[in-house]
Amino acid sequence: MRMKLRYSKALMPLSLTALMAVMVASGIDAHAQTTDEAAVQVDAFPKVRITKRDCRRLVRHYASADVAYKPGVDVRGNPVVDADVNDGFAVPLPDVYEFNVTKDLSAYLDGPEDQLAADKAAAIAAERSVTATDAAVSSAALSLSGAQTVSDTAATAAKAAQTAADAAPNNAALATAATTAQATAKTAVAGLAQMQSAYDATQTAAASDDVSGALTNAQAILAAAKATGYTQNATASTASTTATQAASDSTSADTAALNAAEVVAKSEGITLNVGTVRFDIKTGAMTFNGQPLTNASEAELAAHCQAMMSAK
């Protein structure tokens, strides 16, 4: 018996085997027509015909009227104004989208270990920087304090010398000593002002983690203080030595941190291209490296229908 079957437009894709089973079970009328009381033999394996039109219906999906989008109306059918009331700019979209699936290889190239080492080196460098700038400020403060003492002493000496000279106006030696003391005091005051400026610069450099700048200004203060007659005591000497060594340690730590960061940078961004996904908006077809990513039954039915529709 040959039979032509029709199906609802809402019928979803299903396997060809399952389709035939349903159609045989529900659609075949095996009534025997008797004209002369003789039973008409029916084929043991009934045949079912699937037309091209049936295939078109099976492989396509039709949205129900109550869920399909209708421009210009709301869900209750009432007219509404379109969202784009000014016919705004429309962005043209491609019919086919492609994107790569990649794998980050840094985990296989000691990436986490290198990153950990780089982070540790950076932390050490930051700590050494703070230590060095603090040492520079401490040394500068001691030098400035010593210079202040020298200046105060010079001012006191100048005042005393001038008092002595005033008490003996005819004493040329006392007059000369007063003049010399006054000059020394003025030099000390002038040097102290320059050192105060350098000390401010030391603090500014320290606040910005500029180890080199902080040490340079601290050493300049020490040199200026010595020029006014300042002599370092044991504490001040140790402070200046510590500042110099701390700056050297900070520089070494910075170099180590930079090297560690370069090692990490070499493994960053190294990825393996696993494959390419391609999605066709119009047909809904999706492939990975050319292989379909659709349901197996749908693919089977589509293949059969394609062959049928291609036949002449």
User: What residues are paired with 286 via a beta bridge?
Assistant: 279
More confident residue, 91 or 62: 91
When pLDDT is averaged across residues 181-208 and rounded to a whole number, the result is: 93
Among the residue ranges 102-106, 161-165, 199-203, 211-215, the one predicted with the least confidence is 102-106
How far is CA 274 from each of CA 45, 100, 247, 249, 266, rounded to the nearest angstrom? 48, 7, 49, 46, 21
Tens digit of pLDDT for each residue in 195-245?
999 999 999 999 999 999 999 999 999 999 998 889 999 999 999 999 999
What are the domain boundaries of the chain?
A: 1-71+295-312, 114-266
Q: How confident is the model at residue 104 (pLDDT cuts 50, 70, 90)?
A: confident
- Answering whether pTM is above 0.75, one says no
Q: Is a pLDDT exceeding 90 seen at residue 129?
A: yes
Structural contact between residues 236 and 93, judged by C-beta atoms closer than 8 angstroms: no
108, 266 Cβ separation under 8 angstroms:
no
